[in-house]
Amino acid sequence: MWRSSVSIAVSFVIVTEGWGLAMRAPTETPAEPPIGQYVHIRYEDPADAFRLYDPRCAAVAGRVAELILGLLPGVAVEHIGSTAIPGCDGKGVVDLMLLYESGGLDAARRTLDELGFQRHTGPKAHPEERPVRIGSIRHEGEPFRLHVHVIAADAEEVAAQRRFRDALRADPALMAEYVAAKVGALRGGSRIATNTTR
């Protein structure tokens, strides 16, 4: 249950016998979790499968990181993938790494589930030992797709994700080459890195 806030509903009932006024016990109505349902990319629609870079993705990543850290202090959350690279066109999914210390995997999964994230399912789904949670959040009136990769802080993959992001940030020519490769794959009818942040 999303526990950040609840609304209290109180109702009154007129009791006709004796002209009394009775009040029912307050009931708690849980607030909706902040993370909405994930809508899968329609790869048959080029406009949905490939999007121009949106600078608002950085703010979206920051908002999601704050939500996670508000419930689970002590972890690290980083923006990764193409939306973390200024000017890089791509699928438009905001990818984040949630980095947990030893013994923290269960708490990380529970926190994301509580926020409203859903499990990544299907034949290419990540295992629950290295899970991915998916969802969406509205920002400035528009929905943004989210992937949160739950990774042990000491895993080798962490450095690899950072190298990819930082290399493309530092080299515009390399970023342009990468974007061109994704466009070519899309035109060829293949799904572009559907199970990665790239």
The CATH number of the domain holding residue 134 is 3.30.460.10
pLDDT at 54 over 60: yes
Q: What is the distance of C-alpha 11 from the center of its chain?
A: 37
* Model pLDDT, residue 49: 87
Is residue 146 helix, strand or coil? strand
Tens of pLDDT, residues 97-109 = 999 999 999 999 9
Has residue 91 been placed in a domain? yes
The count of structural domains within the chain is 1
35 vs 96: CA distance, rounded Å: 14
pLDDT at 185 over 50: yes
pLDDT at 120 over 70: yes
Has residue 169 been placed in a domain? yes
Has residue 1 been placed in a domain? no
Q: What is the mean pLDDT of the chain?
A: 86
Q: What is the distance of C-alpha 23 from the center of its chain?
A: 42
90 vs 82: CA distance, rounded Å: 6
81 vs 94: CA distance, rounded Å: 7
Has residue 145 been placed in a domain? yes
pTM (two decimals):
0.81
* Model pLDDT, residue 158: 98
* Model pLDDT, residue 196: 44
Tens of pLDDT, residues 121-148 = 888 899 999 999 999 999 999 999 999 9
